[in-house]
Amino acid sequence: MKKILTVVLGCCLLAGCASVKEAQNLANCKFALRNVELTDYNLTTLGFTVVIAITNLNKKQAATLKRFEGELTVNEEPMAHVTLKDVRIEPNSVKNAKAKLVVPMATFSNKLLGLISMNSATLDYHLTGTMYFEGPLGTEIPLPVDIGRFGNGRN
């Protein structure tokens, strides 16, 4: 019985250490809002593709993002909720994670609609949220992220 308990305890400790290492690896990743592109529009909604570049600076271990939940703002007005799931970033590489958004036209002010329709250089995008990685026994551990700003939507 003692041997089984020792083995189970050892496995839990190893899983906990791996989770801490994965958390540190994910926390050391660089996040950048690469692009926000208008992909579809009609009288009631606007469709966007948001590209988030995640750079894994670790040269030996992959990083796994279990989930990301955040909010996209345009010119400091909340626009849409952004969600990513199960993103794996290989060691020493960049992964462009894409999220598709459908934003109701009612969300936009007249000022923002005018700027978008004119493809104005005055649009300012900002994405903040929380990333989650998988901890011991399937728990999700949150880490806050401020991905920052990307001006004008053109790349």
Token output for 31: 């996040």
Q: Is the pTM of this model over 0.85?
A: no
- Residue percentage of the chain with pLDDT more than 70: 70
Please tell me which residue, 109 or 143, carries the higher pLDDT value.
143
Range ranked top by mean pLDDT from 23-27, 60-64, 94-98 = 94-98
Q: Cα–chain-centroid distance for residue 144? A: 10
Mind listing the pLDDT tens digit for each residue in 21-46?
665 677 788 888 888 888 988 888 88
For 138, the 3-state DSSP assignment is helix
57 forms beta bridges with none
Please tell me which residue, 83 or 150, carries the higher pLDDT value.
83
| Domains, in order of start, for the chain | 2-151 (2.60.40)
